[in-house]
């Protein structure tokens, strides 16, 4: 399975964002965490900054919305040129309507799940989804440790995707590093977000390559 590495700019230097985007030119995607201090107890960046990131990023932009009222806001990020927009299951009233709207705007549609949220209600909706994001930490902050208990959820999701034959990407986010990525890949994930592991490395590009190699099962 071709794996994708998506460094999270949450661990980048926000006043040197363009430089830190250029440093991950060998990645597959750049993961942009949007937080509103309501859905999660942290506040990051919004639409105007995402618009500029889309303009200068060397790789497609993967937006992870940790915000309330995703139905209102997610389409704006698709209009801004994000290649994928992930809204949280817990923050939408109408996931299918929203996913269809994102697709109609030319973005890949993703649904994100907090660690305590079940994936089962979304398994019948896989044909409507381009990506399922299984959070492997509580959303809100970088640098937390991977929740081992998420591995069965990743396995169940992969099985359902294989059965449905939809080609839906299975993304994991939180605590992904050289020491965790191989077993998460074995469980069936194929898109790996890594913030502190990538931007905390001395050689960022080499770290991306090392993660891709370790994640290739
Ligand atoms: C956390 C964010 C993550 C974060 C991951 O809520 O969604 O994308 O940047 O950071 P690490 O890889 O350090 O766990
Ligand atoms: Zn994220």
Active-site annotation holder among 33, 62, 130, 190: 33
Give the number of C-alpha atoms closer than 13 A to the C-alpha of residue 207, restricted to the C-beta side. 21
Tally the domains of the chain.
Answer: 1
88 lines ligand 1 (CB under 6 A): no
Q: How far is the CA of 95 from the centre of ligand 1 (A)?
A: 23
Quote the pTM value. 0.98
The reported pLDDT for the residue numbered 104 is 98
Active site residue 190: no
| Ligand 1 touching residue 63 (CB < 6 A) | no
Please give the pLDDT value at position 217.
Answer: 79
Going residue by residue through the chain, which has 217 residues, state the pLDDT in tens, using 9 for 90 and above: 789 999 999 999 999 999 999 999 999 999 999 999 999 999 999 999 999 999 999 999 999 999 999 999 999 999 999 999 999 999 999 999 999 999 999 999 999 999 999 999 999 999 999 999 999 999 999 999 999 999 999 999 999 999 999 999 999 999 999 999 999 999 999 999 999 999 999 999 999 999 999 999 7
pLDDT at 55: 98
Q: Is there a catalytic annotation at residue 173?
A: yes
**Residue whose CA is at the smallest distance from ligand 1 atom 10:** 142
Containing structural domain, residue 119:
4-215
Atom in ligand 1 nearest the alpha carbon of residue 200: 13
Asked whether 31 lines ligand 1 (CB < 6 A), one says yes
Q: How far is the CA of 141 from the centre of ligand 1 (A)?
A: 6
Q: In this predicted structure, what is the pLDDT of residue 114?
A: 98
Residue pair 199/180 in contact by the 8 Å Cβ criterion: no
Q: Provide the token pair at 61.
A: 């932009």
CA distance 144 to 142: 6
* pLDDT score for 136: 99
R_g (Cα) of the chain, nearest Å:
16
Selected catalytic residue, list 20, 28, 62, 173: 173
ipTM of the complex: 0.99
The CATH number given to whatever domain includes residue 16 is: 3.20.20.70
Is there an atom of ligand 1 within 6 Å of 196 CB? yes
Integer angstrom CA distances of residue 30 from 54, 84, 131, 154, 181: 10, 10, 15, 22, 18
Mark the binding-site residues, compressed into ranges: 8, 31, 33, 64, 140-143, 173-175, 195-196
């Amino acid at each position: 399975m071709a794996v994708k590495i998506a460094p999270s700019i949450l661990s980048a230097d926000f006043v040197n964002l363009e430089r830190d985007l250029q440093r991950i030119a060998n990645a597959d995607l750049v993961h942009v965490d949007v937080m509103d201090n309501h859905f999660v107890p942290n506040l990051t960046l919004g639409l105007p900054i995402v618009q500029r990131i889309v303009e200068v990023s060397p790789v497609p932009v993967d937006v992870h919305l940790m915000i309330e009222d995703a139905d209102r806001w997610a389409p704006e990020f698709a209009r801004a040129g994000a290649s994928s927009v992930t809204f949280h299951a817990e923050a939408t009233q109408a996931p299918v309507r929203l996913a269809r709207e994102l697709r109609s705007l030319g973005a890949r549609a993703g649904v994100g799940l907090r660690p305590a949220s079940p994936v089962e209600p979304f398994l019948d909706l896989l044909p409507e989804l381009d990506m399922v994001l299984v959070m492997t930490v509580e959303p809100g902050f970088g640098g937390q440790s991977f929740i081992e208990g998420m591995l069965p959820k990743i396995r169940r999701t992969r099985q359902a995707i294989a059965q449905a034959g939809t080609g839906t990407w299975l993304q994991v986010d939180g605590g992904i590093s050289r020491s965790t990525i191989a077993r998460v890949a074995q469980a069936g994930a194929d898109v790996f977000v890594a913030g502190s592991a990538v931007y905390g490395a001395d050689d960022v590009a080499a770290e991306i390559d090392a993660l891709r190699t370790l994640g290739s099962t």
